[in-house]
Structure 1
Amino acid sequence: MNTHRARRRRPLRLLGLVLALVVIAASGAGWWFYQRLDGNIRSVSIGARGGTERPDASGRTPVDILVIGSDGRTSAADCGLGGGCAHTGVQKGGGNADVELLVHIAADRSNATVLSIPRDTVTEIPACRDSATGASESGYRGQINSALRYGPACQVAAVHRLTGIPVTHYAQLDFSGVVKMSDAVGGVSVCVSDDVYDTYSHLKLSKGTHTLKGVAALEFLRSRHGFGDGSDLGRTVSQHLFLGAVLRKVKSGDTLTDPAAVYRLADAATKALTVDDGLGSVRALVALAADLNKVPTGRVTFVTMQTDPDPDDTDRVVVAPEARALFADIAGDRSLSAGSGAGRSTPSPVPSSPVPSSPVPSVPVSRIAVRVENGTGITGRAAAVAGALTAQGFGSGTVAGNAPRSAPTTTLGYGPGLREQALRTAAALGLPASRTAPGGGAGLTLVIGADWPSGTTYPGAALSPVPADGATARAHAATADRAGKCAQVGRYRTVSLDGVAMTPSQAYALAKDVPDSDS
């Protein structure tokens, strides 16, 4: 890949969990390089802003770590990868927490949950002061990722306030560290459902499986226009696929039995990390690695916090009602992995604030009737989707028909007082909540658009091996052992070539002169 293309890469905003995955390798490498690796690690204080973890009935304590990727350019390498430093130069600090992953390891180490918090979530940011810079804020309503401007402790406090989940550890990775770590493990295997060219992240891959290293891995992880509905929410699903592949790779015998690979990985990880004081040594990271290594990949569950559109800003989101149950399950140390009841931790008391103690309201699907209209021009589409709903137990009033006109995108309109029914219907079909809106008469009207030409599950929503219950509905839940799953390439016109909007697959076909990312 030429240097000019690499310099145009926008920064990777993810990858916190790699911290935990990578240090697994360190636990198998012996103790001889502790002192050398200790010198690589940077540490910060987060105080007690994240609350306190509660032990289970046996006195065992969960582990909760906020891992982030920021958009700061704090090194020459990061400026080269992220750009934007021509006028400012290398930054001393600041930036936004553009990717936030809350990693929960159960008290009995039988399972783990990785919760993605979308960066565009609007919430209440608590009053805070950065002890390092003196910058302070009296509190405001804004995006969750903006709290990092006032230091790591403020970002921890904001996530704790939003979720009610204790956060007692913090880790941050820089851009260049991700590149080095993907190389250190020999590349990460990912699959894409179709040809994809994201003209913004520059990710370009043909349909199928690829091994991504370096900048190519960074392109995959930051691609938001290539997958799902083209939003930051759709990107979290492909990120989870990547992280699951990293976890399987790092825990494989081929990685852990190769001393040179282990050292390269541990050296890259520790140089890339900024952690809280409690994790500020290789000894502490190895202890964390040992805990993580006890969790089978089938018991590591990736979820995305459920959101609804912000009524004040269509480009932002707010926490959805279903997320309250998800937060409560994580805070209560309850596993989200399918079939993981045996050996799971005895639930800890659920905090009373800010997570509501009352359950999320529920309407039985048998009481929900949906009019499904075909706006695709493809014979039988409405009947197929309506049949899928009735097969799931939706009401007998669910019927199919033709839309009055063709529709480019799928939408679900709902009448007064039916928002909850609309969200449950959308969850049953894998339809993003952003596709629901008031309107469509007194009931529910689902218009199948050209973006959904086949199948009975909305494109990009097939990755869900974990049963959708009150906690995981619309959370795109998936476990880390799900090898072979492909990131779903979007069917919207989310990218452009020469000023012409098109789908990522159309862009791939036309950009014959652009080399693939893994070439």
Structure 2
Amino acid sequence: MKIGAIIASLFVLVVAGCGAFVYEKLNGNIKGSSLFNGTSGDAGSEKPDAYGRTPINILAIGSDGRSNKADCKIGGDCGPGQNADVQMVVHISADRSNATVMSIPRDLKMQLPACKDPDTKQSFAGGYDKINASLQYGPGCTVAAVHQLTGIPIDHFAMVDFQGVIKMSDAVGGVQVCVSDNVYDTYSHLKLKKGDHTLQNLAALEFVRSRHAFGTGTDIGRTYAQHLFLSSLMRKMKGAGTLANPTKLYSLANAATNALTVDNGIKSITKLVGLGEDVNKVPSDRMTFVTMQNQLDDAGNVHILPAAYNLFNAIKNDQSLTTSSGGKSKVAASATGKASPSASAGSSVDRAKVSVTVENGIGPTARGRASTVQQALTAQGFAAGGTANATQTASTTLWYGPGEKAEAQAAADALGLPSSHLKQGSSAGLVLVVGTDWPTGTSYPGGTGSGSGSDSGSGSGSSGGKSGGSSSDATDGAHAQTAGGKSSGCAPVSRFKTVSLNGVPMTPTQAYAEAKDKPDSAP
């Protein structure tokens, strides 16, 4: 939500040589916390390339905390606690030639890990919830959740609050954005006419907070707008001599360090300067912004799609999403993980004619588990089946009726489920009972199926993609765009009735026309 402040801060912190007084002041601004708050495992570790160089993965977090008067006034509410309104994995390649910034929707439902905040001593036993709830137990718990979901090692985190984006936007003299039509979000209070604008102060925060103004009026549309904002902020930072002006540089560095909470491993100007220099090496047109492939349900919850594991694996394997000339790179699913399974009895089955009933045999702590696996099957081309709860069982089992072994094998292949978990019953139809041996992900742990995801319990990912080694791009459905130039266009204003004015539902453009007495957020 306030992500522009985070990466931009890494650029401006090339200020280490500006004198002892300034160094001490900026160093004292930075707040630190533990990197990993999970009660088991760790945040993973990077694999060096042939030259011994390692990538860097930074989790950028936007907090909606309202723990001070300024943030209370902006947020319209006060009180303890915080949620992660934004999670972005910032991947810097081992050779520093390219980068990927991947948004994880805040409303994503998943099995959260058990955590304990070492500062507040609050603990969480784990359970099925939105990923943004993890921040209640410290940023280290959000690190644990993101690592469990993606299998991507997380080396550092940087978190910013409401005031952060305002301070950074003002320090650079405003951020240029474009909206596709007149827009008024009655919730975030963003009001802009169609075209280009330079956003400062509250207008910048209103833009990145707005979830009703863009796309379909959900958090997904908001991530696209945030990518445009962040791309523009980064271009502003790199251009127009911003970093060469001592006055501007100090103002930016002071704003950045005041805005940030980082992990203890980079809680110093020296460490942040080094990190900022690494980010600064990446050309703008080789920094790709993507949103994790996802699916929205009728209740507004977000669920992961199997294609997301192609993207996770591309990041884990340090594969660039752009070519050396800045064009889009094809990252094949077959290159991002394990090899596709060899031909089996299920390889000739027409998946569109096969449905599987998926039952949750884990228990209430894994609410929604059956739906997640069911969605993985439909994404692999199977007909939609039902979901249900079952008696808790330790071992995942796929039951099939007489003469249906080939169909069962096809479903098992798609999910990476070994043949030893297939059993014939007396009733017709396929029923998959998901046991406690498969608590998360869309591929059975250690499997090689075409719908495979990360084995979240171990923090390691397996192959994504379609069966047969499809050349499906890891960015398919990820709304990929680069930070170079203005080719990404304007933020798409929603055409749906996502806002309400005087109790009347309407589109953001209609609300703009009706709210003549409301001043625009920016000229």
Q: Within 5 Å, give how 1:143-162 maps onto structure 2.
A: 143-162=130-149
Q: Distance in 1 between matches of 2:512 and 2:381?
A: 38
1:74 to 48, 67, 77: 67
Residue 35 of structure 2 is aligned to residue 46 of structure 1: yes
Q: Distance in 2 between matches of 1:15 and 1:358?
A: 39
**Any conservation in 1 of the 2:44–2:153 contact (CA below 8 Å)?**
yes
**What is the DSSP-based 3-state SS (H/G/I as helix, E as strand, rest coil) of the residue aligned with 2:321?**
coil
Alignment correspondent of 1:229: 216
Q: Distance in 1 between matches of 2:382 and 2:473?
A: 15
Indicate how the Cα distance of structure 1 residues 360 and 490 shifts in structure 2: closer, same or farther if over 3 A, else same. Answer: farther
Shift of 1:20: 2.4
Q: Distance in 1 between matches of 2:493 and 2:382?
A: 25
Alignment correspondent of 1:509: 513
Alignment correspondent of 2:493: 489
Alignment correspondent of 1:126: 113
Q: Within 5 Å, give how 1:276-315 maps onto structure 2.
A: 276-310=263-297, 314-315=299-300
Q: Within 5 Å, give how 1:48-447 maps onto structure 2.
A: 49-85=42-78, 88=79, 91=80, 94-310=81-297, 314-339=299-324, 357=338, 419-420=379-380
Indicate how the Cα distance of structure 1 residues 132 and 508 shifts in structure 2: closer, same or farther if over 3 A, else same. Answer: same
Alignment correspondent of 1:477: 480
RMSD: 2.8
**Any conservation in 1 of the 2:3–2:165 contact (CA below 8 Å)?**
no
Q: Distance in 2 between matches of 1:212 and 1:360?
A: 51
Indicate how the Cα distance of structure 1 residues 136 and 504 shifts in structure 2: closer, same or farther if over 3 A, else same. Answer: same
Shift of 1:254: 2.5
**Any conservation in 2 of the 1:184–1:264 contact (CA below 8 Å)?**
yes
Q: Deviations over 1:260-308 (max 9, x none)?
A: 1111111011001100011101111111111111100001000001112
Q: Distance in 1 between matches of 2:236 and 2:280?
A: 13
**What is the DSSP-based 3-state SS (H/G/I as helix, E as strand, rest coil) of the residue aligned with 1:314?**
coil
Indicate how the Cα distance of structure 1 residues 140 and 339 shifts in structure 2: closer, same or farther if over 3 A, else same. Answer: same
**Identity among equivalent pairs (%):** 53
Shift of 1:257: 1.8
So what's the TM-score if we normalise by structure 2? 0.71
**What is the DSSP-based 3-state SS (H/G/I as helix, E as strand, rest coil) of the residue aligned with 1:66?**
strand
**Any conservation in 1 of the 2:16–2:23 contact (CA below 8 Å)?**
no
Indicate how the Cα distance of structure 1 residues 264 and 360 shifts in structure 2: closer, same or farther if over 3 A, else same. Answer: farther
Shift of 1:232: 0.4
**Any conservation in 2 of the 1:360–1:470 contact (CA below 8 Å)?**
no
**What is the DSSP-based 3-state SS (H/G/I as helix, E as strand, rest coil) of the residue aligned with 2:141?**
helix
Indicate how the Cα distance of structure 1 residues 324 and 256 shifts in structure 2: closer, same or farther if over 3 A, else same. Answer: same
Q: Distance in 2 between matches of 1:496 and 1:17?
A: 28
Shift of 1:45: 1.5
Q: Deviations over 1:197-251 (max 9, x none)?
A: 1111111111110000010000011111111111100111010000000000001
Q: Distance in 1 between matches of 2:381 and 2:96?
A: 37
**Any conservation in 2 of the 1:224–1:234 contact (CA below 8 Å)?**
yes
Task: Report the number of matched residues.
Answer: 393
Q: Which amino acid aligns with 1:38?
A: N
Q: Distance in 1 between matches of 2:340 and 2:235?
A: 35
Shift of 1:124: 1.2
Q: Which amino acid aligns with 2:318?
A: D
Q: Which amino acid aligns with 1:223?
A: S
**What is the DSSP-based 3-state SS (H/G/I as helix, E as strand, rest coil) of the residue aligned with 1:330?**
helix
Q: Where do 5+ consecutive residues of structure 1 fail to align? A: 1-13, 362-366, 370-416, 424-467
**What is the DSSP-based 3-state SS (H/G/I as helix, E as strand, rest coil) of the residue aligned with 1:278?**
helix
Q: Distance in 1 between matches of 2:165 and 2:180?
A: 24
**What is the DSSP-based 3-state SS (H/G/I as helix, E as strand, rest coil) of the residue aligned with 1:315?**
coil
Shift of 1:17: 4.9
> Which deviates the most, 211-220 or 151-160?
151-160
Shift of 1:501: 1.3
Q: Deviations over 1:315-372 (max 9, x none)?
A: 2111101101000000110011245699x9xx9xx9xxxx9735699xxxxx999xxx
Q: Distance in 1 between matches of 2:216 and 2:154?
A: 31
Q: Distance in 2 between matches of 1:481 and 1:274?
A: 28
Q: Which amino acid aligns with 1:200?
A: Y
Indicate how the Cα distance of structure 1 residues 422 and 266 shifts in structure 2: closer, same or farther if over 3 A, else same. Answer: farther
